[in-house]
A and B are shown apart, each in its own frame.
Chain A
């Protein structure tokens, strides 16, 4: 059954008729048209779909869209100031934190959530903060360097 979902996506308040069993990722990709959020697994394995819900990282493949009513959902598309990369995105770019780029939106959003909560994380805290996000290209070394480069001095 479709219900009206009132939600803020990347700073814009929206109301959409959304099925009660629709996942947040499908809502973002198919209804809002934000395909930056990726699906890499059959649910809860890889973290590629990570978005921020009220500032906290969440797997959008494990959340029902209707359960996110009245929240602020932020996806990778929200981070850049139009085409200008955020400090975190620029760090991922310059340090080669992204290779094939498919885990990148989720990885960057998980790191964004971490840094908002803890602007100067230790290496250990970075590993914990990104522990639910799988990358197959980098071996994670340059991802850690990127998050460190974007951390507050």
Chain B
């Protein structure tokens, strides 16, 4: 039969997101939208002191107000929480001491918002102020008192390694340069403010929490720990989530406080944070001071790198150690560099805690490195592309710090952005004030060793097939807008040869979906995608065997065409629904499972403490060229255009890959050009989108994306990460473009007109001094 059904191949197609219609019609429900009749309103009282002992908290006046149902303080929970088992030092509500302005100290559940807010004003907290440290330098000064007993000197942990022959490398270099760089603290500013809805059932001692998280499993663990409840009595659901970017890759105090209030009230409580509170909850990218030193040969070969970084971590540990370790380890695996010496210091300060923001740990270091490389290339008279090409890796390989590199599309990325931007023809010939700059970057496709090491597989996917023929894909992977549910449905549909309409995704509901570590470090497509493929292959095998029985053939002779299974090319075969019925005959409802575990070679090395951080199954690679126009009178920078090429292994969905790459580059632009959290004596003074300076559509450039496909041998259909790797290239590329346009180099982010103007004036002064000296 010539009009035989062809299997569907959704992989590699531009597939719109499966939950798009819900988001476009207003049907998609986020935590604040969930119906909860009778739910109380929860509000949080926050510290007015940057660093202080809590002398007393008097809640009696608030308690006696009509409509106030429950009040909780630090006395209600003596259990710490945190994302790293070795660094849990935060309480849901401060006990004895507050360590940043805005830290929660008490919370109220009341019949409505107005009553809850009024009750907060009646809670009296007495503080005894302590010396407060708002910068990393102040916090680590010799005379500073410790924020935490177990963190003497206010150092989270110093990370050090010295690999290869660094001193010999500098000795053999033709040019050695050292410079310092400074990156302001930034915040994710996802549009959905943090929210939680907790419902406690007194009769059955059960707790259900819906919350805006990227990591429902970690929230589950911390709810159990802080509320001292068995995990089996807790039910965590992640509804639609309005963006993450790393602000929700760990349990937040809002989820724990909401659950504490619900249990105390004996009912349902909803907390929806304000934008200001969301800024204060923070978990953004730390302010970082960097000293970078590089040795180069005349031909552009990098001989050695030395890097020192100092991060302002905030009042609690959070992901701190990991951020610090990523900053060091990912100096490797982009270029072929043997010798690196790294010292990373993470300070504890009286500011909101930092977290694992998109491009975790790599962005500020990459900015410094790419900017310094550009400065040195220009000094040696080398083209920036030639310098990168002189230092390419050859995959497969292991780096000096034992990171596994199996696929490497950076050369193709470089070729494309060079050609598309007209680099060779245009660089150096542009009118005054116009410039081109380039940079490269990379990122992991999931951490090969998770922070909670249990020995279990990294990912589990279940498929359920029943009488209706629909395949229900059960996954704990947190859809946060990146398209994880869509890509998993694509993977299953591809293996089964079915249209995606046959697949229904149920995600992130602890009662029905398998455990998943969550959406961070770009792990979902690689890890959960591979598990989905395996689950689908197992289901297909069952279907093939059922079809073989029905067609009186051997399973190995059965051909699956998706909607038709047949025994030979001349056979009309039997349709999918008939095969489903046949498969169900003996067993009833079918469930299959797929898992994914990382291979030991990908786990990083043991050459220094923490060397596993950076280990991944596959690195993405990216190169970008940024074109700018700078007004020399106002120092206003206009981004004219960005060309970016991203090696994502294989684009399972080119539409969403482009969206991720554009979003990454743009977020890098925000950091590079305008975004900055700012504090006055620990008081946030830019905790809104206008003062913080989120770029609008008006100042956002066209971003042209080229997808490079290196086809990773371990990736799902060859895929690697797509949602982070392009971010860290932008700051360096734009700094290099500004230097090209004006001859002036700014070493601080964001490159605001103020900072650029200061740099222009300093440069002009230096030129005048030089001319005067020359004339004399």
Q: Is the CB of B276 within 8 A of A134?
A: no
Closest CB-CB distance, B589 to chain A, in whole Å? 29
Name the segment of B14-22, B52-60, B545-553, B625-633 touching the other chain.
Answer: B14-22
Cα A77 to Cα B19 in complex, Å, equals: 16
- A48 adjacent to chain B (CB < 8 Å): yes
A62 vs B752: C-alpha distance when bound (angstroms): 30
Interface-lining segment among A1-9, A65-73, A95-103: A95-103
Contact B274 A136 (CB under 8 A): no
> What A residues does B276 contact at CB under 8 A?
42
The 6 A-B pairs with the shortest beta carbon distances in the complex, nearest first, are: A36-B26, A100-B481, A102-B242, A139-B666, A101-B23, A35-B33
Distance in Å: Cβ of A45 to nearest Cβ of chain B: 4
Known: A39-B32, A142-B662. A100 touches B242 (CB 8 A): yes
Residues of B within 8 A of A17 (CB): none
User: Which of the candidate stretches B190-198, B199-207, B493-501 sits at the interface with the other chain?
Assistant: B190-198
- Beta-carbon contacts under 8 Å, B131-149 to A: none
Given A76-B25, A100-B241, A139-B663, residue A131 in contact with residue B698 (CB < 8 A): yes
Do B667 and A136 have beta carbons less than 8 Å apart?
yes
Measured between alpha carbons, how far is A46 from B697 in the docked complex, in Å?
Answer: 12
Chain B residues with Cβ below 8 Å from A133 are 697
Contacts of B483 in A (CB 8 A): 99
| 15 CB < 8 A contacts A-B | A29-B33, A38-B32, A38-B242, A41-B689, A42-B274, A42-B276, A46-B275, A80-B24, A93-B24, A99-B17, A99-B483, A136-B190, A137-B659, A139-B662, A139-B666
Interface residues in B150-196 (C-beta closer than 8 Å to A): 188-193
Return the contact of B243 from the options A93, A100, A127, A132 (Cβ within 8 A): A100
Q: Is the CB of B24 within 8 A of A104?
A: yes
- Give the residue of B191, B659, B702 whose beta carbon is less than 8 angstroms from that of A103: B191
**A144 partner residues in chain B, CB cutoff 8 A:** 697
Known: A35-B29, A100-B243. 4 other contacts (CB 8 A): A40-B242, A41-B275, A93-B17, A140-B697
User: Taking beta carbons and an 8 Å cutoff, which residues of A are in contact with B?
Assistant: 29, 34-42, 45-46, 48, 75-77, 79-80, 83, 85, 89, 92-94, 96, 98-105, 108, 126-128, 130-144
Most A C-beta atoms less than 10 A away, residue of B17, B662, B665: B662
Do residues B700 and A140 form an inter-chain contact, with CB atoms below 8 A?
Answer: yes
| Chain A minimum-CB-distance residue to B664 | A139
Q: A99-B482, A134-B694, A142-B662 are in contact. Are A38 and B688 (CB under 8 A)?
A: no
Q: Which residues of chain A are within 8 angstroms of B451 by Cβ–Cβ distance?
A: none
User: CA–CA, A80 to B17, complex, Å?
Assistant: 18
The answer to whether A135 and B191 have CB atoms under 8 Å apart is yes
B23 partner residues in chain A, CB cutoff 8 A: 98, 100-101, 104
Does chain A have a CB within 8 A of B656? Answer: yes
Nearest-neighbor residue (CB-CB) of A110 within chain B: B697
Task: Tell me whether B703 is interfacial, beta carbon within 8 Å.
Answer: yes
Chain B residues whose C-beta falls within 8 Å of the C-beta of A102 in the assembled complex:
30, 190-192, 240, 242-243, 481
**Which of B30, B192, B688 has the largest number of chain A CB atoms within 10 A?**
B192
Chain A residue with minimal CB distance to B661? A139
Q: A83 contacts which chain B residues (CB < 8 A)? A: 21, 25
Looking at the assembled complex, report how far the CB atom of A48 sits from the nearest CB atom of chain B, in whole angstroms.
6
A94 and B15 CA atoms in complex are apart in Å by: 8
Q: Which residues of B contact A92 (CB under 8 A)?
A: 20, 24
A-contacting residues, B5-46, CB 8 Å: 16-17, 19-30, 32-33
Contact residues in A for B665 (Cβ distance below 8 Å): 139
Contact assessment for A139 and B700 in the assembled complex, using a CB-CB cutoff below 8 Å: yes
| A135 to B17 Cα, complex, angstroms | 17
A136 to chain B, nearest CB (A): 5
CA distance A132 to B697 in the complex (A): 8
Q: Check A34 against B24 for contact (C-beta < 8 Å).
A: no
A43→B205 CA distance, assembly (Å): 39
* B25 and A77 within 8 A (CB): yes
Are A45 and B192 in contact, with the CB atoms below 8 A?
A: no
Would you give the shortest CB distance from A107 to chain B, in whole angstroms?
Answer: 9
Contact of A93 (CB < 8 Å), options: B16, B32, B481: B16
In the assembled complex, B690 has its CB within 8 A of some CB on chain A:
yes
> For the complex, what is the distance from the CA of A92 to the CA of B16, rounded to whole Å?
9
Question: How far apart are A35's CB and chain B's nearest CB, in angstroms?
Answer: 4
Once bound together, how far apart are the Cα atoms of A90 and B191, in whole Å?
22
Could you tell me if B242 and A89 are in contact, using CB atoms closer than 8 angstroms? no
In angstroms, Cα B702 to Cα A31, docked, is 41
Given A37-B26, A99-B481, A139-B703: A46 in contact with B192 (beta carbons within 8 A): no
Interface flag for B418 (CB, 8 Å):
no
Interchain CB contact under 8 A, B659 and A138: yes
B480: CB under 8 A from chain A? Answer: yes
| Residues of chain B within 8 A of A104, CB atoms compared | 23-24
- Is B658's beta carbon under 8 Å from chain A? yes
CA A139 – CA B482 in complex, angstroms?
13
Please measure, in the bound complex, the distance between the C-alpha atom of A79 and the C-alpha atom of B27, giving whole angstroms: 12
Q: Check if A96 sits within 8 Å of B659, measured CB to CB.
A: yes
CB distance from A90 to the nearest CB of B (A): 8
The answer for the CA separation of A37 and B25 in the assembled complex, in Å, is: 10
Q: Given A83-B21, A102-B191, A102-B192, A35–B698 Cβ distance below 8 Å?
A: no
A13 to chain B, nearest CB (A): 21
The listed residue with most A CB atoms (<10 A of its CB), out of B25, B192, B244, is B25
A39 to B193, alpha carbons, bound, how many Å?
8
B193 to A, closest residue via Cβ = A40
Judged by a CB distance under 8 angstroms, whether B121 is at the interface is no
Q: Mark B88-111, 1 if CB is under 8 A from A, else 0.
A: 000000000000000000000000
Q: Which residues of A contact B32 (CB under 8 A)?
A: 35, 38-39
Q: Nearest Cβ distance between residue B628 and chain A, in whole angstroms?
A: 17
In the complex the two chains form, what is the Cα distance from A134 to B690 in whole Å? 10
How does the 8 Å CB contact mask read for B263-281 relative to A, with 1 for contact and 0 for none?
0000000001011100000
Q: Are B690 and A45 in contact (CB under 8 A)?
A: yes
A131 to chain B, nearest CB (A): 5
Which A residues lie within 8 Å of B667 (CB)? 136, 139
Interface residue B319 (Cβ < 8 Å from any Cβ of A): no
Report A-chain residues with C-beta under 8 Å of the C-beta of B697.
126-127, 130-131, 133, 135, 140, 143-144
Instruction: Give bound CA distance, A136 to B659, whole Å.
Output: 11
Neighbouring A residues of B526 by C-beta, 8 Å: none
Q: How far is the CB of A61 from chain B (nearest CB, A)?
A: 11
At the interface, yes or no: B696 with Cβ under 8 Å from chain A? Answer: yes
Nearest CB on B from A150, distance (A)? 12
Residues of A within 8 A of B416 (CB): none
- Decide if B245 is an interface residue (CB 8 Å cutoff): yes
Q: Is B655 an interface residue (CB 8 A)?
A: yes
Contacts of B663 in A (CB 8 A): 99, 136-139
- Using Cβ atoms and an 8 Å threshold, which residues of chain A touch B243? 99-100, 102, 136-137
Contact of B662 (CB < 8 Å), options: A40, A103, A138: A138
Q: How far apart are A42's CB and chain B's nearest CB, in angstroms?
A: 5
The verdict on A36 contacting B698 (CB below 8 Å), with A45-B690, A100-B481 known, is no
